[in-house]
Amino acid sequence: MKICGITRLADVEAAVAAGADALGFVFVPASRRSIRVETARDLVARVPAFVQAVALFADPSVDWVETVIDQVGPDLLQFHGSETGRFCRQFGRPYIKAVSADLDDEARRRIMQEHHTARGFLIDSHAVSGLGGTGHTFDWSRWPRDNGRDRRPWILAGGLSPENVTEAVATLSPYAVDVSSGVEEAPGIKSADKIHAFMRGVGHARDQH
């Protein structure tokens, strides 16, 4: 379970207390959840062992990614734009790639081949436009069923909330879920109550399994 778009220490603490596996920090200047490098560095320093700090980008410059790596020290990179595999690999860091749920099987397979070192793929509503964190669900019948022989994980994102996450996990059995808008009071301002409700929702789906 990843909680994305964190900007405050209180939200780091709430997500960790609720049992999040990963926390996302948005380094996309145009985003309403964009965080300053100095703030992110302080927050990441408070992330406990075994919880991953994830740095999000959308078509960044090489310099920007290197600055974030050097100054923030994320565990994982997440790319939301049209970055090539070569671009993402050059940093020598584990990364995941966001993929639009609108893509057909062939286009998605091409991206998976191109990103042959990616550690996983985030299936999201608007990734193809380089955007994310919109709070929009996609048609879950678009969820990819056939991974072929590629065993890398698919992460479900896009419009998840405490209200729909149980059904989403029970229906699609994703490797992980990623949420931002659905646990917020305002962009970048999370709600501890919603985070806990979201985690309970995931737990209900596991109980049904």
Ligand X SMILES: O=C(O)c1ccccc1NCC(=O)[C@H](O)[C@H](O)COP(=O)(O)O
Of the candidates 44, 5, 3, 9, the residue with the CA atom closest to the CA atom of residue 22: 3
Spatial separation of the C-alpha atoms in residues 131 and 145, rounded to whole Å: 24
Residue closer to ligand X by CB (options 65, 179) is: 179
Written as one letter, the residue type at 198 is F
31 forms part of the interface with ligand X (CB under 6 A): yes
Choose the catalytic residue: 11, 42, 59, 124: 124
What are the distances in angstroms from CA 100 to CA 33, 94, 108, 194, 205? 20, 20, 8, 26, 24
Give the binding range for ligand X (CB under 6 A) out of 40-48, 128-136, 143-151, 166-174: 128-136
* Structural tokens at position 85: 């595999």
Query: Considering the complex, what minimum distance in angstroms separates the CB of residue 146 from ligand X?
Result: 23
Helix (H, G, I), strand (E, B) or coil at 64: helix
Query: Considering the complex, what minimum distance in angstroms separates the CB of residue 178 from ligand X?
Result: 5
Residue identified by tokens 């990441």 is: 44
Segment holding 111, helix H or strand E: helix 105-114
Residue identified by tokens 């408070």 is: 46
Residue closer to ligand X by CB (options 166, 181) is: 181
Query: Considering the complex, what minimum distance in angstroms separates the CB of residue 8 from ligand X?
Result: 15
Residue closer to ligand X by CB (options 58, 65) is: 58
CB contact burial 20-59 (16+ within 10 A = b; e otherwise): bebbbbbbbeebebbbebeebbebbeebeeebebbbbbbe
Residue closer to ligand X by CB (options 85, 182) is: 182
Is residue 102 flagged as an active site residue?
no
Helix (H, G, I), strand (E, B) or coil at 86: helix
120 forms part of the interface with ligand X (CB under 6 A): no
Is residue 88 flagged as an active site residue?
no
* Structural tokens at position 195: 């985070």
159 forms part of the interface with ligand X (CB under 6 A): yes
Residue closer to ligand X by CB (options 99, 112) is: 99
Q: Per-residue string for binding with ligand X, 51-90, x by CB under 6 A?
A: -----x-x---------------------x----------
* Structural tokens at position 139: 């048609």
Give the binding range for ligand X (CB under 6 A) out of 7-15, 27-35, 37-45, 113-121: 27-35
Interior angle at CA 132, CA 128 and CA 136, nearest 5? 100
Which residues of the chain form contacts with ligand X (CB under 6 A)? 4-5, 24, 26, 28, 31-33, 56, 58, 80, 122, 124, 131-135, 157-160, 178-182
Active site residues: 4, 124
